Amino acid sequence: MPIQRRDFFRSAACASVALGILPDLMTGPALAAASDSGLDAGVLPPGAISRFAQLNGIRLHYVVAGSGPPLVLLHGWPQTWAAWRGTMAALSDRFTLIAPDLRGLGLSERTVSGYDKRTIAEDIRALIDHEAGGRARVLGHDMGGKAAYVLAHRHPDRVSRLALVDCLLPGTENMDSLRGGAWHYGFHMAPDIPEMLTAGRERAYIREQIRAWSRRKDAVTEDAINEYARHYASPGGMRAGFNHYRALRDDAALAATFAGKRLTMPVLAIAGRYGVGSRLSDALKGEASSLTTVIVEESGHFVAEEAPDAFQRAVAQFMTA
């Protein structure tokens, strides 16, 4: 549905407050100058390898670690593959972990279009074919969770087990801030305005959003925020991130075509009590043939960082069952 003018200006006002309450610790140019476009060796988990492959028409970056059955990890906004460093270190003795940068983010190619979750799912299908022999366990958080959900519906033969982490299924998001919805949807979906207002303040904006969505405010470290921000602050980074939001209308239309269809693989819904709570599992009850639900107490949106022990235990138990 079109963004109403009052909703847009309300969202823009909220964004201005968010941008103004924190000091601009590091600007876009400063972040870009801090490192080149490559991957710092210190970012990789022990034993991990950084790789690139030409898949589904784009140059996709991903990191591989561990040994065992393949498990694909899909990050959300405003993060990169590096959101999974702790998870990869903890689970690398049981799985071959494959963590891509989603299209346009991190070191993956920034394209003009293709941020709808149907296209993102095709990127991941190609990655599974290329790196995992055509079938894998798949886990996705936030935007990565939406893509994982679409992938499981469109290519169930590629997904042996599906875990969705603190995300809302496409079309179930509450974007009406007057009725308790999140203001950032309208702001991120508006053309050009969010890029203009966050230019030079990328780190401040990303930090504020992460802190606002976390129950444990210090769980996502300042170093992690620096790592995300250096990529989003590089040319085209914020636009690519916002484009994942701008595709939500198309994502909702696609998800509507799944009505009446079942997810036949085992599904795990894991969420923070102070994140999406039970809304994820409630939305899945009508279509998941085998559904496991885990609500992590005292966690917000970033469950893997806010409650790493509980998260890793739940994922390991589900993925090895």
Is 228 a catalytic site residue? no
Is 301 a catalytic site residue? yes
On whether the CB atoms of residues 139 and 73 are closer than 8 A, the answer is yes
Kindly give the pairing relationship between strand 70-74 and strand 58-66.
unpaired
Q: Which of 116, 142, 166, 251 is catalytic?
A: 142
DSSP 224-235: HHHHHHHHHTST
Is 115 a catalytic site residue? no
Tokens, residue 138 = 């798949």
Tokens, residue 225 = 């925020």
On whether the CB atoms of residues 286 and 258 are closer than 8 A, the answer is no
Residues whose CB falls within 8 Å of the CB of residue 5, separated by 6 or more in sequence, listed in order: none
Q: Which of 228, 245, 251, 274 is catalytic?
A: 245
Peptide bond just before 23 cis, omega within 30 deg: no
CB-based burial of residue 6 (10 Å sphere; 0-12 exposed, 13-18 middle, 19+ buried)? exposed
Active site residues: 142, 245, 301
